Structure 1
Amino acid sequence: MSDFQEQKEVLTTGEVAKICNVAARTVSKWFDKGDIEGYRIPGSKDRRIPKSSLIKFMKQHGIPLDGLMTGTTRVLVVESDVATRDTLLKVLGDNTGYELRGCENTFVAGIECERFAPHVVLLDTSLPGGAEIVQAMQANDDRTTDFIAVCGRTADPRNETYLRKGYAGCIRKPFTVRQVIDAIEDCTSIIN
């Protein structure tokens, strides 16, 4: 977490979801059922949860409190080209506070999705099994992972093909660091 987030006393459902490693809609259900205390922003549907209520909830339900300290965005880079993968990991590591991991195929990506529980997966669309891993992760209601398609120059310029397949976004090679960071930020900026 950034210094700013560590000092925040009130959190969004998206921030609570990252801390507890669940989907934002799961946090909304907890809130709506009264399982976790908070309030709605007047004139809005947005929910806010005081940090003290979150800690109480986590203790009651046996959720490890270490998530409060490690609420950083976790990104998994799945790229078959070693140079591209290593460059992405280095550049993202140098320019963000993300927790990063990388792998070269969708089999290892499936294992890493279970172990690492990434918030965002940058997935090379040329790899076999990509569509299946996206579908499998989407079938899990409690999973918070968004997928960003990393595709070649000949891909659908409007991204519609990938959005229909369940990807949250698409970046086309060659891409800039800013494009990658913006795509990740778009996935993680859920505020409800």
Structure 2
Amino acid sequence: MNELHVLTTGEAARYCGVNFRTVIRWIERGQLKAYKLPGRGDHRICVEDFVGFLRDNAMPVPNELAAASRKVLMLASDPELTAGGRQALQQVGCEVDVASDSFIAGTLIAGCKPALLVLDANLAGVNGFQILDHLRSRSEYANVRILVVAPAGERDQQRWLDGGADALVLQAGDRTELSAKAKLLLEM
């Protein structure tokens, strides 16, 4: 499978229906994240950043680019949740990485730039609310959707949503709810 990871300014312009100089202006103004190649200084735009830009500006996301942003990071240590959740997410076309602690999750979120974080609220030694607060306070993670898997007896579900989660599923629920909510969040 040939995956597209970066775009030229001309390619980005064709997707938006604008002149490539408009894309360069967006980059120079800091509206669109890009990097310069050594030598001539041509710009390259990561697909994940471009998709985030399109969504932030209420522009349609082309199907071939939306598929590129189906990376999911699952932060969980429960073997049942990890195995079942991974399988359910892969069945709806997601590329899933799993981290069992916050250190590994931090390196993976910076490196793989997931579109969705599935956060186990029961993760030992980790305060999920601190993770939500950190991600929501950093602009580079503004486009990451967060799905919290809460314990079955969770009384204060609204607290997770108020803390920055985009959606919540109960751990006792079946995996179809997890995959359905993940799919919905990825298509937003």
Instruction: Quote how far apart the aligned CAs of 1:102 are.
Output: 0.7
The letter of the residue matching 2:47 is C
Structure 2 partner of 1:81: 78
Native 8 Å contact 2:75 2:120 kept in 1? yes
Q: Deviations over 1:142-177 (max 9, x none)?
A: 3221111111111137x3111111000110011222
Superposed counterparts of 1:145-156, under 5 Å: 145-156=144-155
Structure 2 partner of 1:122: 118
Q: Would you say 1:173 and 2:171 are equivalent positions?
A: yes
**Structure 2 vs 1, CA of residues 140 and 90 (structure 1 numbering), >3 Å: closer, same or farther?**
same
Structure 1 partner of 2:59: 47
**Structure 2 vs 1, CA of residues 150 and 50 (structure 1 numbering), >3 Å: closer, same or farther?**
closer
CA distance in 2, matches of 1:117, 1:81: 23
CA distance in 2, matches of 1:187, 1:49: 14
- 1:26 alignment partner, one of 44, 53, 65: 53
Q: Deviations over 1:74-120 (max 9, x none)?
A: 11111111232122212322x12111111112221111111111111
Instruction: Quote how far apart the aligned CAs of 1:183 are.
Output: 1.2
Instruction: Quote how far apart the aligned CAs of 1:70 are.
Output: 6.3
Query: What percentage of residue pairs aligned between the two structures are identical?
Result: 15
**Number of aligned residue pairs:** 146
CA distance in 2, matches of 1:69, 1:181: 17
What are the ranges of 5 or more consecutive residues in structure 2 without an aligned counterpart?
A: 2-13, 17-32, 34-45
Structure 2 partner of 1:112: 108
Backbone CA RMSD of aligned residues:
3.4
What are the ranges of 5 or more consecutive residues in structure 1 without an aligned counterpart?
A: 2-8, 12-16, 32-45, 52-66
CA distance in 1, matches of 2:86, 2:62: 34
CA distance in 2, matches of 1:188, 1:148: 11
CA distance in 2, matches of 1:20, 1:188: 14
Structure 1 partner of 2:184: 186
CA distance in 2, matches of 1:28, 1:103: 27
Native 8 Å contact 1:78 1:109 kept in 2? yes
Q: Deviations over 1:24-62 (max 9, x none)?
A: 663367x6xxxxxxxxxxxxxx534789xxxxxxxxxxx
Native 8 Å contact 1:82 1:104 kept in 2? no
**Structure 2 vs 1, CA of residues 23 and 169 (structure 1 numbering), >3 Å: closer, same or farther?**
farther
What's the TM-score, normalizing by structure 2? 0.64
Structure 1 partner of 2:68: 71
**SS at 2:173 equivalent:** coil
